[in-house]
Structure 1
Amino acid sequence: MEESTLMDRARENWIGYLFILPTFLMFTLLFYFPIVRGVYMTFTNARLGGAGTFVGLDNYMWLLTNDLFHFAFGWTLAFVFGTTFLQLFIGLFAALLLSELKSGWREWASAIVMSPYFSAPLAGGVIWLWFLNSDFGMLPRLITDIFGVSTPAFLAEDLWPYVSLIVAQSWHDYGYAGIIYAAAIVGIPREQYEAAALAGAGRLRRFRDVTLPHLVTPTIVILALRTAWNVAEFAQPFELTGGGPGTRTMLMSILTYETAYVNLQFARAYTLGMAMIVISMTAAIFYVTVIQDEEEMYV
């Protein structure tokens, strides 16, 4: 039997291609074209309302020599690392609790776990602002009323702004990891736990030998997606500190916003965006490589 060519398959399935053509065209127009145009823009000095002229690698040189970018880059890495792994830990803990509940209670508890994630990030920022603000926040008032001591400015002093942003973002997004882990744990065959119990394995050993191997693939998914989203996180940190006080909590996402919509330097802003994409892709490749090596230990 002769192997069909690409043209033969196209003639045979032309109706299917015809139906997907509008989607392909719109996806190209709204996704691929802006990306390609944006990459070209990084080699220009485009500002609001103008195409700009070709300047070569000037924007990338500005990036590498800009002290504020260096700080934002380092703080973004710390923010992403802290929030991603805290979300992973809290999500796994929540999933283990959900797995112990009966079917009816599990659905209600899952809804509670996911409720922060379903709230708008800007709304979450407002909630944490009213919770942590040193002037009218609930937490400083409670500590002052109960213990009679003054509290630090959680959003302005020392290391507290950094801790506050990481904790607030972890609270908002831990439900994503929790539900994925819960689905993976519920899908583990009960026979494996029963066999481990008959072999004398305690609860901790059953978790290590039975549960953890089934969580390798979900961990890859969570780490890759949450890292990419945390790199681009903007609304809640912007609502809480706006990158301040001054530039003390300037994330790359906030710096990109200010470069584009305050300074109106769109080419430089897109160059910052390219740096954020590189961080996300590098982390994803690292996660997949490391965890695939770990997964081979269980095969």
Structure 2
Amino acid sequence: MRENYAGYLFILPTFVMFVLLFYIPIVQGVFITFTNATLGGTSYEFVGLDNYVWMFSNDLFVFALGWTLVFVFSVTALQLLVGLMAALLLNEIRTGLKETFSAIMMSPYFSAPLAGGVIWFWFLDSNYGLAAMLAADLGTTAPGFLAEGFWPYVSLIVAQTWHDYAYAAIIYLAALASVPRDQYEAAALDGAGRLRRFRDVTLPHLLIPTVIILALRTAWNVAEFAQPFELTAGGPGTRTMLLSILTYRTAFVNLSFSRAFAIGVVMILLAMFAGIVYINAIRQEEELYV
């Protein structure tokens, strides 16, 4: 403490704000899960584990939990893959157009999620969407991307991947820029082709950035709400109900804040579990170089 007091002073304001705006509300929310608090209610009673019993015995919650896990796994994996491909392509550009292409490829990430949802809804709507009009011009009929079969699931995954892949691309591009050029030159002199140089030189420098992206994107994808809500709002019916949308409906439609907070606790635990796994992976990776 005496040696590093200046550092602690610098982080103190951030720590205080986190406590006031993050940790205290979480503790209050966990307490509310043991009550029957409602939106607008002036009083509530202690009900023990009733909200958690309701939650895990509710078929819609069980379905939403399973679909959320599939959604998060699929979107996170695709964001990593597409982001890596975008970063590799941008890293190969040596002309003055690199900044222009970077701005174009990164633009979805800097748009508001709700705006992205409106764009995808306009594109995929089966009545007046661009996809339907293009299909009609070709003499065929576009599937109901937001209403039929497995298409709503695919649409949500693709739309969310499109919106956030640039986050991974930005981090990967920074990591690629830090790879020493002489390592590539040495590998080329040894006769290594492009694939081998990528495997032996590039990939080792991308392992820790990959774990960081996985931790952050997993946590954020668990909580994604605006764009999925704009596209399907959990429908048709409840077929694409994510935990985030179920939390909203439970709190602001059914007016049960205590049950909504209970669902939120599950979402927090999912994000924390992913973070712990990825942090342990970083530590194991760092130990390899000690």
TM-score category, normalised to shorter length: over 0.9
Note if 1:78 corresponds to 2:70.
yes
Q: 1:114, CA displacement in angstroms?
A: 1.4
Q: 1:297, CA displacement in angstroms?
A: 6.2
Q: Could you tell me which residue of structure 2 aligns to residue 41 of structure 1?
A: 32
Q: Could you tell me which residue of structure 1 aligns to residue 55 of structure 2?
A: 63
What TM-score do you get using the length of structure 1 for normalisation? 0.90
Measure the CA separation in 1 of the matches of 2:61 and 2:84: 34
Judged with a 3 Å threshold, the aligned counterparts in structure 2 of structure 1 residues 96 and 136 are, in CA distance, closer, same or farther, namely same
Judged with a 3 Å threshold, the aligned counterparts in structure 2 of structure 1 residues 295 and 32 are, in CA distance, closer, same or farther, namely closer
Q: 1:107, CA displacement in angstroms?
A: 1.8
Measure the CA separation in 1 of the matches of 2:208 and 2:143: 41
Note if 1:187 corresponds to 2:194.
no
Q: 2:108 touches 2:163 (CA, 8 Å); kept in 1?
A: yes
Q: Counterpart of 1:89 in structure 2: which amino acid?
A: L
Q: 2:208 touches 2:285 (CA, 8 Å); kept in 1?
A: no
Q: Could you tell me which residue of structure 2 aligns to residue 112 of structure 1?
A: 104
Judged with a 3 Å threshold, the aligned counterparts in structure 2 of structure 1 residues 224 and 20 are, in CA distance, closer, same or farther, namely closer
Q: 1:298, CA displacement in angstroms?
A: 7.2
Q: 1:34, CA displacement in angstroms?
A: 1.0
Q: 1:113 touches 1:178 (CA, 8 Å); kept in 2?
A: no
Q: 1:290, CA displacement in angstroms?
A: 4.5
Measure the CA separation in 2 of the matches of 1:75 and 1:295: 34
Measure the CA separation in 2 of the matches of 1:24 and 1:98: 37
Measure the CA separation in 2 of the matches of 1:46 and 1:206: 59
Note if 1:92 corresponds to 2:89.
no
Measure the CA separation in 1 of the matches of 2:289 and 2:63: 40
Q: 1:213 touches 1:298 (CA, 8 Å); kept in 2?
A: no
The alignment yields a C-alpha RMSD, in angstroms, of 2.3
| Per-residue CA distance 1:237-256 (angstroms, 9 max, x = gap) | 00000000100000000000
Q: Could you tell me which residue of structure 1 aligns to residue 272 of structure 2?
A: 281
Q: Decide which structure has the larger Cα Rg and report it.
A: 1
Q: Could you tell me which residue of structure 2 aligns to residue 137 of structure 1?
A: 129
Q: 1:295, CA displacement in angstroms?
A: 6.5
Note if 1:240 corresponds to 2:231.
yes
Q: Could you tell me which residue of structure 2 aligns to residue 151 of structure 1?
A: 142
Q: Could you tell me which residue of structure 2 aligns to residue 124 of structure 1?
A: 116
| Per-residue CA distance 1:255-291 (angstroms, 9 max, x = gap) | 0000000001001101100000111111222233446
Identity rate, percent? 68
Gaps of 5+ in 2: none
What TM-score do you get using the length of structure 2 for normalisation? 0.93
- The correspondence of residues 200-239 of structure 1 with structure 2, limited to 5 A, is 200-239=191-230
Q: 1:294, CA displacement in angstroms?
A: 5.9
Q: Could you tell me which residue of structure 2 aligns to residue 3 of structure 1?
A: none
Q: Could you tell me which residue of structure 2 aligns to residue 268 of structure 1?
A: 259
Measure the CA separation in 2 of the matches of 1:210 and 1:234: 38
Gaps of 5+ in 1: 1-5
Q: 1:105, CA displacement in angstroms?
A: 2.2
Q: Counterpart of 2:190 in structure 1: which amino acid?
A: A
